[in-house]
Amino acid sequence: MNPQTTNVLLIEDNPGDADLVRLRLVEGKSPVKVNCVNRLADGLASLETETPSVVLLDLNLPDSRGAETFRRVMEHSPHVPVVVLSGQDDEALAMKAVHQGVQDYLVKGNISSKHLERAIRYAVERQALLRALEISQKQKIEFKNQFLSHISHELRTPLTCIHQYVTLLLDGIAGAISPDQSDHLKTVLKSVNQLHAMIRDLLEAARAESGKMRIEPRCVSLRELVQQAVAMLRPSADEKNIGLEIGLDQRLPLLLADPDRILEVLINLVDNAIKFTPSDGAVMIQANMVDADPGSVYVAVSDTGRGISPEAKNLIFERLYQDPDAPDNNRSGLGLGLFICREIVRLHEGRIWVSSEPGQGSTFTFTLPVYSLAKLLAPVVAYQGSLRPAFVLVRVELLPHVNPPGGSWKETCQQCLDVVRRCVYLDKDLVLPPMGTSGTSETFFIVASTDLQCSGIMTTRIREQLERIDQLKEKCSVAISALPIEVPASSADESLEKQVQMLADGVTQMILRSMERKHLSDPRSGRQSH
């Protein structure tokens, strides 16, 4: 049986070194096919068309030097083994390369045909082993998540049944019950609700671990979310006589965040703070702008509880972690809440951390991105260093036939948003994040780089695609309109960034006026326009 040919991509700009490497490869016992290029850009282009068995890579090329060279190759083709060829015996660089995934580091002057052949063979085999282990690990995680999902869904049915019958008994529908029986049933109901929460956390953690957790960012007010979380948890705080206070920076801008997910983080952190704070203590929710980081809002939940040990601080955001020193009556969950919070904040490209000293309380802080329309618009409204000549604001409004809308209205709105996003040109148009939280109606806005006459093509395409959604006509009507956006007059000394900001300000005013007219003309708002 003939040995398999090894396809080698040699990226080397020195003709003498390239010939020497070719010679060493040909002298080996295994058949090889060598494709040699002298620039990194050509090597990356070659990787696009054909996947080699191994890449032999010189670090000093005309268009790339040093560690950046192998980093770019590995980012481009992470599953192709890379062997570095260097003219310098640099131990520090060799260690850095290996730590970042390079399979071997060879010094050109010391390469023999046997040495090079063995290095290539080992690199290919190690990369294949790593790939097999990666696939195996993914399969294990997928199997575990499927198992957890299946078990969780199976547990929900009997728990829902228990919840319903206990509620019937507590409401007296099945007959009168004594005060003691009522207390016992309330204990059962509390445990059922606790199990429901555990199952929900298991499913969320499984989604996060498998990369299936999703967020749908909107333009939202943090103030409203904080007030909502406090209103929901006020009874728990009052029951323990714990003060629950809010301190919000008056400068707080709108956020680009998923309101449901951020509310989940707030509830989790505040609930934990109440849980681990003794009676007569205090919990404070604060949100501030930081001058050194104007693109983020900093949200902090502080308590006057027992604090967290240094050892626990390093592990507290890990999956299934529970502080062994915590009182037993505070261990009502699975240790997944903070792990889920971390993943939600990460999906928002934010950070979360804890500051605490034993006996001095704790402060959990996380960051969220500020909503910047100019930042969102910049990649699509400018071309070759200047604004495009014309823009149109397209409005797509979903008006449900009943109030409140029945069924899965939120899923319907998301399905429509996905359709709208597929109807625009990604490099010229932008579907803006929806405004506020989901309500009884939904409005999407698009900034399109076209004029009013040509925008009709887009609006027709959107309408036709929306009409293909099953049962959409039975749920709501669709209104689509378009208005020209005034392009700001610019002077020679005005930067493109300033022009984009002026355009964003104009779009913002148009949207605010549009939303105000909608509120005035909506008979369900209790007000009519005249």
Task: Work out the average pLDDT over 181-210.
Answer: 78
Between residues 520 and 442, the one the model is more confident about: 442
Q: Which CATH architecture has domain 218-369?
A: 2-Layer Sandwich (3.30)
Q: What percent of the chain has pLDDT over 70?
A: 91
Least confident of 89-93, 117-121, 148-152, 349-353: 148-152
Q: What Rg do the C-alpha atoms of the chain give, in angstroms?
A: 30
For residue 132, pLDDT over 80 is answered with yes
* Nearest alpha-carbon partner for 257 in 227, 309, 216: 216
Q: What percent of the chain has pLDDT over 90?
A: 35
CATH topology of domain 136-209: Helix Hairpins (1.10.287)
For residue 304, pLDDT over 80 is answered with yes
Query: Residue 193's pLDDT band (boundaries 50, 70, 90)?
Result: confident
Task: Work out the average pLDDT over 388-410.
Answer: 86
CB 270 within 8 A of CB 341: no
CATH class of 373-525: alpha beta
Task: Work out the average pLDDT over 448-477.
Answer: 91
The whole-number pLDDT of residue 153 equals 67
| Calpha distance 97→105 (Å, rounded) | 8
For residue 232, pLDDT over 70 is answered with yes
For residue 328, pLDDT over 60 is answered with no
For residue 1, pLDDT over 50 is answered with no
The whole-number pLDDT of residue 91 equals 74
For residue 418, pLDDT over 80 is answered with yes
Residues in Cβ contact with 82 at an 8 Å cutoff, skipping those fewer than 6 apart: 54, 55, 57, 70, 73, 74, 101, 102, 103, 123
| Calpha distance 471→475 (Å, rounded) | 7
CB 228 within 8 A of CB 187: no
* Nearest alpha-carbon partner for 356 in 401, 394, 408, 300: 300
The whole-number pLDDT of residue 288 equals 94
The whole-number pLDDT of residue 5 equals 83
The whole-number pLDDT of residue 518 equals 59
The DSSP element (H or E) to which 383 belongs, if any, is: strand 382-383
Residues in Cβ contact with 138 at an 8 Å cutoff, skipping those fewer than 6 apart: none
For residue 332, pLDDT over 60 is answered with no
The whole-number pLDDT of residue 3 equals 67
Torsion of CA 399, 402, 403, 407, to 10 degrees: -90
Task: Work out the average pLDDT over 462-481.
Answer: 90
What letter represents residue 96's amino acid?
Answer: K
Rounded to a whole number, what is the distance in angstroms from the first to the last CA of the chain?
A: 89
Domain boundaries of the chain, sorted by first residue: 6-111, 136-209, 218-369, 373-525
| Alpha helix positions (H), 382-495 | 409-422, 452-467, 472-475
The whole-number pLDDT of residue 94 equals 75
The whole-number pLDDT of residue 449 equals 93
The whole-number pLDDT of residue 299 equals 96
State the DSSP string of 269-310.
Answer: HHHHHHHTS-TT-EEEEEEEEETTEEEEEEEEEEE-SS---H
Hey, what are 188's tokens? 């059962």
Hey, what are 416's tokens? 């429509």
Which backbone phi and psi does 413 adopt, to 5 degrees? -60, -40
Per DSSP, the three-state class of 485 is: strand
Residue with tokens 């887009």: 458
Does the global pTM surpass 0.75?
no
Instruction: Just give the CATH number of 6-111.
Output: 3.40.50.2300
Strand blocks (E) in 27-87: 32-37, 54-58, 60-61, 64-65, 82-86
The whole-number pLDDT of residue 15 equals 87
* Nearest alpha-carbon partner for 389 in 451, 297, 468: 451
Q: What is the pLDDT of residues 137-161, one digit of tens each?
A: 777 767 766 776 667 667 777 888 8
What letter represents residue 62's amino acid?
Answer: P
The whole-number pLDDT of residue 525 equals 45
Between residues 321 and 216, the one the model is more confident about: 216
Length of the chain counted residue by residue = 530
Torsion of CA 397, 403, 406, 411, to 10 degrees: 30
State the DSSP string of 90-143.
Answer: -HHHHHHHHHTT-SEEEEGGG--HHHHHHHHHHHHHHHHHHHHHHHHHHHHHHH
The whole-number pLDDT of residue 528 equals 37
Task: Work out the average pLDDT over 67-90.
Answer: 84
CB 340 within 8 A of CB 205: yes
Q: What is the pLDDT of residues 7-49, one digit of tens each?
A: 889 998 888 888 888 888 887 777 888 899 989 989 999 998 8
**β-strand partners of 257:** 218
| Calpha distance 365→355 (Å, rounded) | 8
Torsion of CA 336, 341, 346, 350, to 10 degrees: -150
Q: What is the pLDDT of residues 240-286, one digit of tens each?
A: 999 999 999 888 899 999 998 999 999 999 999 999 899 999 999 99
CB 313 within 8 A of CB 378: no
The whole-number pLDDT of residue 324 equals 61
